[in-house]
Amino acid sequence: MNTLPNLDVVARLLVAAVFGSVIGFERERLLWAAGIRTHMLVCVGACLIMIVSAFGFRDSLSSQNVVLDPSRVAAQVVSGIGFLGAGAILARGEIVRGLTTAASIWTVAAIGLAVGGGLYFAAGVSTAVIIVILAGVKPLEEAYRARNQSCRLKIEATQASVTPEVVKRTLNIRTGQIKRFLTTPRDGIEEVTVLLSKVSSQDIKTFVAKLDELDGVHSVAVIDRRRGEPS
C-alpha cells in the first residue's frame, strides 16, 4: 500500500498552518472576527481533507472491481466552506461588509488543498499573491473610494431659488451625479434634500460654502456622507 509517510503528513499540516496564519494575520490586524485562528483552522482542515482524499482510499482502490474518485472528497471543500464565508458577511442597510474576509477564507481553503496535495510552490505563491491583494492593493482602493463618495445635502432656501440646474452649475458637477433632488415646503421656505454621488472628500468640504453664497439660501448642511466600507 502506497501511503504518505508520517513526517510528510506532519510537514504538510504545519505548512498549511503557517500559510493560513500569514493570511489570517492581515485580517486580524483589522479586528475582523475571522482572524488568525480561523484562517489557520480552515487551511489545516482543508489540507487534512486533501490528504484523506488523495491517500485515504488506497486500500479500496487496490481491490478488484472497485472504482472510486478520491477527488470527490476534496471537491466538497470548495462548496462546503461557503457557510464560514457567509458567517463573515454582514449587511447593514445598503452597506455589505465582510466580502473580502469571506473570499480570503475561501482562498485559504484552496491553499490548504494545494498543500495537502503536495503543491508547496503553488501554495506559497498563492499566499504571497493573496497578501499583496489584501494589504498592498488596499491603499489604492481607499484612494479610489476617497474620490468616489456620496453625500446628502440639506438646504433651506426661499421657494424656487434652488433647482437641480442651480446646484449643478454652482457645484460644477454633472447631471448624472445628482441622484436625488427632493423639495419640501415648510413655513414659507423650501427644505431641499440633494443626494450626490461620485464626489471627492475635498469637493464635499467646499459644497457648503458654495451653496451658502447663493441668493435665497438660508442654511446648508451635509447630513450624510458615505464611502465604501472596508471588508
- Ranges 76-90, 164-178, 204-218: which has the least confidence: 76-90
Query: What pLDDT shows up at residue 229?
Result: 44
Give the cell for residue 111: 491553499
DSSP 137: S
Indicate if 132 and 26 belong to the same structural domain.
yes
Distance CA 29, CA 43 (A): 19
pLDDT at 1 over 50: no
pLDDT-derived band at 15 (thresholds 50, 70, 90) equals very high
Q: Is residue 1 part of a domain?
A: no
Indicate if 105 and 218 belong to the same structural domain.
no
Query: What pLDDT shows up at residue 230?
Result: 43
Domain around 197 = 149-225
Indicate if 50 and 121 belong to the same structural domain.
yes
This prediction's pTM: 0.57
Query: What pLDDT shows up at residue 146?
Result: 65
Q: Is residue 195 part of a domain?
A: yes
Domain final residue, candidates 144, 176, 201: 144
Indicate if 195 and 119 belong to the same structural domain.
no
pLDDT at 99 over 80: no
Indicate if 18 and 104 belong to the same structural domain.
yes
Query: What pLDDT shows up at residue 2?
Result: 56
Q: Is residue 104 part of a domain?
A: yes
Indicate if 155 and 130 belong to the same structural domain.
no
N-to-C CA span, the chain: 47
Indicate if 168 and 211 belong to the same structural domain.
yes
Indicate if 114 and 165 belong to the same structural domain.
no
Domain final residue, candidates 124, 144, 164: 144
Query: What pLDDT shows up at residue 82?
Result: 75
Cα–Cα distance list, 113 to 79, 119, 130, 137, 160 (Å) = 13, 9, 16, 25, 65
Indicate if 140 and 177 belong to the same structural domain.
no
Give the cell for residue 189: 421656505
Indicate if 161 and 114 belong to the same structural domain.
no
Percent of the chain at pLDDT above 90?
Answer: 5
- Ranges 30-34, 54-58, 73-77, 182-186: which has the least confidence: 30-34
Distance CA 220, CA 212 (A): 6
Helix, strand, coil tally for the chain in percent (to 5): 55, 20, 25
pLDDT tens digit sequence for 101-110? 888 888 888 8
Instruction: Give me the CATH number covering residue 171.
Output: 3.30.70.260
Q: Which residue has the cell 498549511?
A: 16
Cβ atoms of 116 and 159 within 8 Å: the answer is no
The 10 Å Cβ neighbour count of residue 86 is 11
Distance CA 40, CA 228 (A): 28
Give mean pLDDT, residues 40-60: 80
Q: Is residue 231 part of a domain?
A: no
Query: What pLDDT shows up at residue 104?
Result: 85
Domain count for the chain: 2
Indicate if 128 and 30 belong to the same structural domain.
yes
Indicate if 78 and 124 belong to the same structural domain.
yes
Q: Does residue 146 sit in helix, strand or coil?
A: helix
